[in-house]
Chains A and B, each alone.
Chain A
Amino acid sequence: MAALTLVQSVNLALARAMADDPRVLVLGEDVGIDGGVFRATDGLLARFGPERVLDTPLAELGIAGLAVGLAAQGFRPVAEIQFSGFVYPCIDQIMNHAARLRTRTHGRLSCPMVLRMPAGGGIRAVEHHSECPEAMFAHMPGLRVVVPASPARAYGLLLAAIRDPDPVIFLEPTRLYRAVREEVADDGAALPLDRAFSLRPGADITLIAWGGMVPEALAAAETLAAEGIDAGVIDLATLKPLDMETVLAEVARTGRCVIVQEAPVSGGLGAEVAAGIAERGLDQLLAPIRRLAPPDVVVPAPRLETAYLPDAARIAAAARETMAYT
């Protein structure tokens, strides 16, 4: 077993899926000889050849549409969009075709494709390289939306996404690509795509996060523990479908929660989580549901990024306020 970064575990899962299933193809911009701008596809061209790893022309819309055609023909395309800020031209293909080809044809044709892309901020990148588009995708019927937050979960979730019979949007938190190493067994074991992960039990308050916010929530929980507040942390991991059962079970025990969202607040995924708690867990709550998310501004350029992103200090502060509610 090797200690891998998240991007290395993505690479390992891709290689594993390609070795296991000849229908799996990798395509995208610079995914071949360059191995991807983050090296997520490094070595795949040499190992699997140019008929399995395709460097495409520079056309995001085209990559998504091409994957729809390949998937309808029985391939399992794993397409890379170089940054989530460039995924917007693909929306027509994802919304109007990938997510509804099965419905449109009553199951005659389907679209088992994965569109993976780096997402989120925290790497001091230029404009359009720090977006969190998860809520937009989670609103589209027919899609699954997955955001891994650790190397081991990235491996298992990506395998699950590739094996899933329906389209999956796989958002890889750029800031976590090389943040930590974790032991990852290349055992081919997929993780479920309908389960949240309770990473840390807590008696007093539940911190709910996904993607790049998960390590921040874990750090906040450490800080809070030193203050005598026992905070639990949930990694939602799969945002569509959303595992509210795990969330409700944890919140029922603690009665208090902070939902941490990196994307701007309005219409975000955090609102969906909050609504689910309010609808089914209101009588368990000891304090109002707290959403911690940046205001409705454009993701700022790098010099102001830290003032925009939620972090462990803000999460801990929100948790203290929620604990103070009586």
Chain B
Amino acid sequence: MPATRIAARFEVRYTRLLDAEGKAAGPLPGFARDPAALVALYRAMVLTRTFDAKAIALQRTGRLGTYASSLGQEAVAVGAAAAMAPDDVLVPSFREHGAQLWRGVTLHELFLFWGGDERGNDFAGPREDFPISVPVGSHALHAAGVALAFKLRHEARAALCIFGDGATSKGDVAEAMNFAGVWTLPLVFVINNNGWAISVPRAAQSAAQTLAQKAVAAGIPGEQVDGNDVIAMRAATEAALAKARAGGGAHVIEALTYRLSDHTTADDASRYRSDAEVSQRWAEEPVARLRRHLEGAGLWDKAAEEALLHETAATVEEAASAYLATPAQAPDSMAAFTYAAWPAALAAQRAWFAPAPAGTEG
């Protein structure tokens, strides 16, 4: 026996089902033969993009807080969420508006949240889904806890956690993947690799050839998917979730996409990347890609497009108006949810909320 042998090997597969022109690059999954399913994905991506544009417009006019655009990444969020069962749990980052909308979070709730009102996280729809997590990557561990809860209760449910390429450099994500592997948790991680963590490009984030291979160290499979291909995203996530719910353990999907927007409305991406790079990436974007596919299949035309854009704009405008017409809560509401019940020992502090004169005691 030689002194040195190969102790482990791994490979990372990359899947794209629709090319940039919207043509099938190979056999498509079953749902892609259902016109209603494809149109639903398209409508969800258009809604996400329309919401995005309105949110930016509101921020630019001082009527919304700092906002993280998902422009160009709609297929990651929508495709992954479309693969979920209603009683799975979504544990999102802050750029998955499309996933939240698909899951039943309302436009009004999203506007409220990004407008600085946490009532927007008290979803009427998916009650067990986690709210947006602003600290990068730390929510991966919550997803592991949720998945462990499912496993301990012997429920056929799975958690889906989405975070960006930058988050894969964090210990939280490594620890979450490790838990998921060692305990065979029903948990699917989706890495929304949009190429940039604010100003730091993917290549400066990790020397690993793929981010999907970070799964390998945790003993779970990892794969790459074209994140601008919503059919591939839904198919890959469906397979991973089905395996997870069946007791087959966790999975990592690295979705390769591109952040066509600034990091947030507080960012100016021209400081660190060229317009030429961004322009080139528009050719790959997911909404036009699926539209071309639908048109090629005879499922979509100009009239349908115009009707959808009109309808979607009206829906988003209505939600924005409702958000703008929603008064802020009373100041003492900020103490309403600090604890299940405000401790008697801190009772005097609530004098702070008395109308006037301002001041507090004790």
**Which residues on A are within 8 Å of B, measured CB to CB?**
25, 51, 56-57, 59, 61-62, 64-75, 77, 89, 92-93, 96-97, 102-110, 141-142, 165-166, 194, 241-245, 276, 279-280
B346 contacts chain A at the CB level, 8 A cutoff: yes
B298 contacts chain A at the CB level, 8 A cutoff: no
In the assembled complex, the CB of B168 is this many whole angstroms from the nearest CB of chain A, namely: 15
A279 touches B142 (CB 8 A): no
Partner of B138, one of A96, A104, A109, A165: A96
B212 contacts chain A at the CB level, 8 A cutoff: no
B10 contacts chain A at the CB level, 8 A cutoff: no
Given A69-B148, A73-B149, A241-B346; 16 other pairs, CB 8 A cutoff = A57-B178, A62-B141, A65-B144, A65-B176, A68-B141, A69-B149, A70-B145, A72-B145, A92-B135, A96-B135, A102-B337, A103-B118, A105-B131, A106-B121, A107-B337, A280-B362
Which residues of chain A come closer than 8 Å to B131, judged between CB atoms?
104-105, 109
B338 touches A103 (CB 8 A): yes
Bound Cα distance from A242 to B142, whole angstroms: 30
B315-345 interface mask toward A, CB cutoff 8 Å, 1 = contact, 0 = none? 0000000000000000000101111100111
Which residues of chain B come closer than 8 Å to A97, judged between CB atoms?
133, 135, 138-139, 142
What does DSSP make chain B's interface, helix, strand, loop or mixed?
helix
Which residues of chain B come closer than 8 Å to A71, judged between CB atoms?
145
Bound Cα distance from A142 to B341, whole angstroms: 11
A66 touches B145 (CB 8 A): yes
- What is the number of contacts between chain A and chain B, taking CB atoms within 8 Å? 140
Residue of A nearest to B152 (CB): A51
- Given known pairs A62-B176, A65-B175, the reply for A93 and B145 (CB within 8 Å) is no
In the assembled complex, the CB of B178 is this many whole angstroms from the nearest CB of chain A, namely: 6
B141 touches A61 (CB 8 A): yes
B163 contacts chain A at the CB level, 8 A cutoff: no
Residue of A nearest to B155 (CB): A73
B144-176 interface mask toward A, CB cutoff 8 Å, 1 = contact, 0 = none? 111111101000000000000000000110011
Which residues of chain B come closer than 8 Å to A109, judged between CB atoms?
128, 130-131
Which residues of chain B come closer than 8 Å to A279, judged between CB atoms?
361-362
Partner of A66, one of B179, B334, B340, B361: B179
A74 touches B149 (CB 8 A): yes
**Which residues on B are within 8 Å of A, measured CB to CB?**
89, 91, 118-119, 121-123, 127-128, 130-131, 133, 135, 138-150, 152, 171-172, 175-176, 178-179, 182, 334, 336-340, 343-346, 361-362
Partner of B343, one of A96, A104, A241: A241
A194 touches B340 (CB 8 A): no
A102 touches B121 (CB 8 A): no
A242 touches B135 (CB 8 A): no
Partner of A59, one of B118, B123, B148, B178: B178
In the assembled complex, the CB of B105 is this many whole angstroms from the nearest CB of chain A, namely: 12
In the assembled complex, the CB of B349 is this many whole angstroms from the nearest CB of chain A, namely: 10
Bound Cα distance from A102 to B128, whole angstroms: 13
Bound Cα distance from A89 to B223, whole angstroms: 30
Bound Cα distance from A241 to B1, whole angstroms: 66
- Given known pairs A62-B144, A65-B172, A107-B122, the reply for A57 and B182 (CB within 8 Å) is yes
B148 touches A66 (CB 8 A): yes
Bound Cα distance from A57 to B361, whole angstroms: 46
In the assembled complex, the CB of A167 is this many whole angstroms from the nearest CB of chain B, namely: 10
Partner of B142, one of A56, A59, A69, A241: A69
In the assembled complex, the CB of B9 is this many whole angstroms from the nearest CB of chain A, namely: 24
Selected A-B contacts with CB under 8 Å, 21 pairs: A25-B152, A57-B179, A59-B175, A62-B176, A65-B145, A65-B175, A69-B147, A69-B148, A72-B130, A73-B145, A75-B152, A92-B138, A93-B138, A97-B133, A105-B337, A106-B119, A106-B336, A108-B122, A166-B339, A194-B344, A245-B345
Partner of A102, one of B139, B143, B339, B362: B339
Which residues of chain B come closer than 8 Å to A69, judged between CB atoms?
91, 141-149
In the assembled complex, the CB of A90 is this many whole angstroms from the nearest CB of chain B, namely: 10
